[in-house]
Amino acid sequence: MSAVPPPELETPSISFDQIQELESAYLLQNYARYPLALHRGKGCYVYDLEGNRYLDLISGIGVNSLGYAHPRITKIIRQQAGLLIHSSNLYYHEYQGRLAERLARASGLGRSFFCNSGAEAMEGALKMIRSHGHALSTEKYEIVSLENSFHGRTLGAISITGQPKYRKDFEPLLPGARFVPGNNIAALEAAVNERTGGIVLEFIQGEGGINPISEPFARKARELADKFNALLVFDEIQCGVGRPGAYFAYQLLDPVLLPDIVIAAKPMACGLPLGVVIANEKAAATIKPGMHGTTYGGGPLACRVALEFFDILDELLPSINAVGGYFRMRLTELMRQFSFIKDVRGQGLMIGVELDFPCKQLVLDGMKEGVLFNCTHDTVLRFLPPYILTESDVDRAIDLLKRIFSKPRES
């Protein structure tokens, strides 16, 4: 940890111990937080209460897409906060339609519904699947998704999340969820039939350990969805909106394979809550006036920030590809030095490093060395850095990781 004297700052008005005491007294005890309280950030770096600086390679689980205190984002937030933060969906404002038009161009799908989080976007897509099936037959309510997937924490989203640990305490859940192993075409063919209302896939599984789906599997999902008149949904909440070096991960295929619905959230409003369901005309037609809605979703502040984000993203895509490729190359080099690294995988700035042992301790070691990342699926180090990461940031990250990997470990 390097202590850098923070410039022009408000000093924190509370100590780390006081924060912990308050949280343990008054919060639901659902999070296992790391022992770190963040105070501010600049670029790819974030600072704790004491002013210690950390290179942030997880960016609030893929949310702080332009890092911290990006001058254009800060300026827009200041301006819009002085004009209009919230309007509700009773009224029009300037930015929702503009953002929807921008997303239509970026995604190839025509109509958006804005909400506030990934799980809420998933819920919107689930309702579209249900409504689509319902219009055809009361039996058409099954949803096929993948083992090991993650789609959020609402009852609907956990119903189709293929990890029993997220579901077991809340059963019975939505009926009709069917799980197939990723990239197993025979299992997919066996699971999809006339009762299938939708197929839901993360194009690159995030929480499940950075696992891309194969092109043949994705194309088979499209073919089966068409054959049985089911909606194909790509959950790109973690793997989309620039992170893979394209607007959406499905655009990496040539020719592009379009889903009926793509859902996105995390990076879009640079830290403000914003989720979206983007649908083609067929899927959009499943939601008629009054069938779905939200009070906060698509407010002027979040939408205006997202428009600014997309302007910046247009120029950043090549660098996301280049720096992501460089990061993976440097991590792959580490495999020669550290035999416990089993695999390096990912796309753009969504990277997983699979180890042959549980990696939680390495995350804590990283914090001591001044670098933040996390561990998912027990043995996979997950890197979701800000899109503004540079090759010299990567060099620094690799030096720090070498130091962390070289520490003696209890076996």
Binding flag, residue 118, ligand PLP (CB under 6 A): yes
Identify whether the C-beta of residue 143 lies closer than 8 Å to the C-beta of residue 129: yes
Q: Nearest to residue 213, comparing CAs of 121, 123, 148, 278?
A: 148
Cβ proximity to ligand PLP: between 242 and 394 the closer is 242
Applying CB under 6 A, among 47, 54, 95, 150 the residue interacting with ligand PLP is: 150
Residue located via tokens 């042959």: 356
Binding flag, residue 237, ligand PLP (CB under 6 A): yes
Q: Which helix (H) or strand (E) holds 106?
A: helix 95-107
DSSP letter string, 182-195? TT-HHHHHHH-STT
* Minimum separation from the CB atom of position 117 to ligand PLP (A): 4
Work out whether the CA dihedral 55, 58, 60, 65 comes out positive or negative.
positive
Piece in contact with ligand PLP (CB under 6 A), picked from 10-18, 101-109, 127-135, 146-154 = 146-154
Cβ proximity to ligand PLP: between 235 and 308 the closer is 235
Hey, which residues does 352 pair with through a beta bridge? 345, 382
Piece in contact with ligand PLP (CB under 6 A), picked from 37-45, 65-73, 202-210, 294-302 = 202-210
Amino acid identity, position 400: L
What's the rounded Cα separation, in Å, for the pair 43 and 63? 14
* Minimum separation from the CB atom of position 229 to ligand PLP (A): 25
* Minimum separation from the CB atom of position 265 to ligand PLP (A): 5
Binding flag, residue 382, ligand PLP (CB under 6 A): no
Binding flag, residue 235, ligand PLP (CB under 6 A): yes
Piece in contact with ligand PLP (CB under 6 A), picked from 5-13, 78-86, 234-242, 361-369 = 234-242
Residue nearest to ligand PLP (CB): 118
Work out whether the CA dihedral 253, 282, 129, 178 comes out positive or negative.
negative
Binding flag, residue 393, ligand PLP (CB under 6 A): no
* Minimum separation from the CB atom of position 5 to ligand PLP (A): 35
Footprint of ligand PLP on 42-61 (CB under 6 A): 61
Piece in contact with ligand PLP (CB under 6 A), picked from 112-120, 126-134, 139-147, 401-409 = 112-120
Q: Which residues lie below 8 Å from residue 252, measured CB to CB, with a gap of 6+? A: 244, 245, 246, 347
Binding flag, residue 123, ligand PLP (CB under 6 A): no
Cβ proximity to ligand PLP: between 162 and 197 the closer is 162
Applying CB under 6 A, among 262, 265, 276, 380 the residue interacting with ligand PLP is: 265
What's the rounded Cα separation, in Å, for the pair 31 and 233? 29
Binding flag, residue 238, ligand PLP (CB under 6 A): yes
Reported for 10-17, long-range contacts at CB under 8 A and 24+ positions apart, including other chains, are: 12/37, 12/39, 12/49, 14/49, 15/49, 16/48, 16/49, 16/50
Binding flag, residue 125, ligand PLP (CB under 6 A): no
What's the rounded Cα separation, in Å, for the pair 195 and 227? 12
Residue 310, both tokens: 């997309």
Binding flag, residue 152, ligand PLP (CB under 6 A): yes
Binding flag, residue 297, ligand PLP (CB under 6 A): no
Binding flag, residue 271, ligand PLP (CB under 6 A): no
Cβ proximity to ligand PLP: between 112 and 238 the closer is 238
- Integer CA distances (angstroms), 109 to 118, 133, 145, 150, 207, in order: 18, 20, 21, 23, 26
Q: Which helix (H) or strand (E) holds 180?
A: strand 177-180
Determine the size of the site formed for ligand PLP (CB under 6 A). Answer: 15
Piece in contact with ligand PLP (CB under 6 A), picked from 175-183, 232-240, 251-259, 288-296 = 232-240
Instruction: Name the site residues for ligand PLP (rule: CB under 6 A).
Output: 61, 117-119, 122, 150-152, 202, 206-207, 235, 237-238, 265
